[in-house]
Chain A
Amino acid sequence: MSATAEAMAQSILPTAAAFSPVGPTVIDCQLEKVFYGDFLAVRNSNVPIEKGKITGFIGPSGCGKSTVLRSLNRMNDLIPIFRFEGHVKYHGQDVYGKNVDPVVVRRYIGMVFQQPNPFSMSIFDNVAFGLRLNRYKGNLEERVQKALERAALWKEVKDKLQKSGLSLSGGQQQRLCIARAIATEPDVLLMDEPCSALDPIATRQVEQLMLELKERYTVALVTHNMQQATRVADTTAFFGVDISQGGRTGYLVEMGETSRIFEDPQEELTKQYVSGEFS
């Protein structure tokens, strides 16, 4: 294929119209291409994360929304075959810069995972983990209590802080993980389908928590559940899967204010997805 033909092929690939949020952005994420080995997993996804807001990532399975989320705090570095073209900037600083230790990135950009993953240690030690890691000198008990209160877990565990975190139920474990993540007050909190292993009551509590969290933090939320996005997200990014190039490559289809995405989608694919024609 000649250079011009390739350029033409590139230009006809569907890509999202650029979205720039009204408020200041915390993370400027422009992923041109994300590879796992030779597999092109995500392309052309320009996802700015607005400060103090909840940005929801929605889309069908395999659309790369988790991959995009995990590239924001370099969790993908754990996968040796991961590489990408583009940039991720946090407060204007290149997250993947030569002298940037991923460990530092993750201390400012915290994460809550799909499966609850408390450490096999006491509830208290779980929440105090990040504080101790950062050599926090203040009142540990106070911080732990505050984090557990914010995670809506304090009342249930205040009498058994020395019990193992793994002795809690699934919903409680996930709230413990949220408490662990917010105890160090990270600037940005990434949540990768945090409610997928939870029952409706626990889901409601976690959603309530997210709305409270955005008062202080910026949240990026991957969800498989469209209703959840409408309930909590201020901005929504819809990802689709492009099978035209042979593989299954995810890309950003459309991004905008949540109400606009759901009520007045501009792209046909978004329209079909939000109306529930496929999932």
Chain B
Amino acid sequence: MAVNPFQHADSASSISGPPSGSDYLADSIFRVIALSCASLIVVLILYILWEIGGLALPAMAQHGLGFVSGTTWNVGSQEFGVLPEIWGTLYSSFLALILGGTFGVGIAIFLTQDFIHARLAAVFRTIVELLAAIPSVVYGLWGIYVVIPMLRPVAEWLHSELGFIPIFGTELSGPGMAPAALVLAIMILPTVAAITVDAFRRIPYKVKEAAYGMGTTRWEAILKVMLPTASSGILAALVLGFGRALGETMALAMLIGNSNQINLSLFAPANTLASLLASSFPEAGQIEVQALMYAAVVLLVITLIVNILGLGIQQYTVRKFEGKA
């Protein structure tokens, strides 16, 4: 019970009083619950890192940094290197980010800048978010049976006409970078679109008023005022989308071709860390499992670096555009 120095003040109200002991108790309980929820996340991440790191330790000791720069994955000769997978992971995610990011931001502009009625926009937004509910394996099947056959004539034409450009340098072999990146772009689209929509929604009405008050056309208002204002939120959306693309497994394992090579060509098969893990685990022996654990650590580190970099860029734009310390 707290000390109440005011209870004997002669004009004090008899209704006012200090919080009861149970009020203070509830306060402390809530604080403890909130604190443990928050720290649980940190503990969980550290625990996962610890466990995977522990399993990867033998492979780490044996292969060292050569694992990251090596280009062969041969169980027979115990040679393990994941450079092609690192390349494939970053390349496919980057392509997906460019495609999915452009479309996601475009959709968000369409939904928030008075192009359609607010109620229709809500329906539209729900449909876009439904894309996130489609299971990864369904995307993979769709990629195999729809996207690859659809891409084939386009890819053949691009290769024969513009084959001198490295990104069109090979023929489409079926599964490969292009179908994988395309499907990946669709998979990150709802994340990017939904968060960007929120970023645009957060812009106060007075900013829109200021833009139109200066005599901007609608496009000038959107491109020169709304986009910079929403930029930190849009960056957050892109970072999250990129993070999701880095870790996406099933659809990529089905579409990327699982080929251990580094190739700029969009039509060549490739591999990613996540799909390497998924496709190699079922038949891996003890030595290979250790190498796969090492690959998992590499993937975790890449994801971590990307997120930290993204956060850094976002903080920078917040400071630069919004002037917050």
Contacts and interface: CB of A to CB of B under 8 A. Distances in A.
A111 B323 contact: no
B213 A111 contact: yes
A133 B321 contact: no
B89 interface: no
B213 to A, nearest CB: 4
A73 B204 CA distance: 21
Nearest to B214: A130
B323 A163 contact: yes
Q: For B204, B209, B225, B229, which residue has the most chain A Cβ atoms within 10 angstroms?
A: B209
A107 interface: yes
A181 B206 CA distance: 15
B228 A121 contact: yes
B122 interface: no
Interface string A155-181: 000000001111110000000010011
Contacts of B321: 120-121, 164, 166
Nearest to A168: B323
Contact of A120 (B214, B216, B228): B228
A133 B215 contact: yes
Contact of B212 (A75, A115, A121, A167): A75
Contacts of A129: 214, 224
A17 interface: no
Nearest to A167: B323
A167 B322 CA distance: 7
A105 B324 CA distance: 35
A106 B228 contact: no
B214 A165 contact: no
Interface string A86-114: 00000000000000000111110011010
Contact of A110 (B207, B214, B225): B214
Interface in A52-77: 73, 75
Interface string B178-201: 000000000000000000000000
Contact of B225 (A107, A119, A181): A119
A119 B229 CA distance: 7
Contacts of B228: 119-121
Interface string B208-230: 11111111110010001100110
A119 B215 contact: no
- Interface residue range, chain A: 20 to 34
Contacts of B229: 119-120
Contact of B210 (A104, A119, A166): A119
B231 to A, nearest CB: 8
A3 interface: no
A125 to B, nearest CB: 9
Residue among B215, B217, B224 facing the most chain A CB atoms (10 A cut-off) = B215
Mostly helix, strand, loop or mixed at chain B's interface?
Answer: helix
A208 interface: no
B320 interface: yes
B214 A117 contact: no
A75 B320 CA distance: 30
A75 B206 CA distance: 12
A107 B323 contact: no
A118 B324 CA distance: 14
A78 interface: yes
> Looking at B206, B213, B220, B231, which has the most chain A CB atoms within 10 Å of its CB?
B213
Nearest to B213: A111
Interface in B296-325: 319-324
A166 B323 contact: yes
Contacts of B220: 133
A221 B58 CA distance: 77
Given A119-B228, A119-B229, A164-B322, A106 B209 contact: no
B322 A120 contact: yes
Interface of A: 73, 75, 78, 103-107, 110-111, 113, 115, 117-122, 129-130, 133, 163-168, 177, 180-181
Interface of B: 204, 206-217, 220, 224-225, 228-229, 231, 319-324
29 contacts: A73-B213, A75-B209, A78-B209, A103-B216, A105-B215, A106-B213, A107-B214, A110-B213, A110-B214, A113-B206, A113-B209, A115-B206, A117-B209, A119-B210, A119-B225, A120-B231, A120-B321, A129-B214, A129-B224, A130-B214, A130-B215, A133-B224, A164-B321, A164-B323, A165-B323, A166-B321, A166-B322, A166-B324, A181-B213
Top-9 shortest CB links A-B: A167-B323, A164-B323, A107-B215, A106-B215, A117-B210, A111-B213, A120-B321, A117-B206, A166-B323
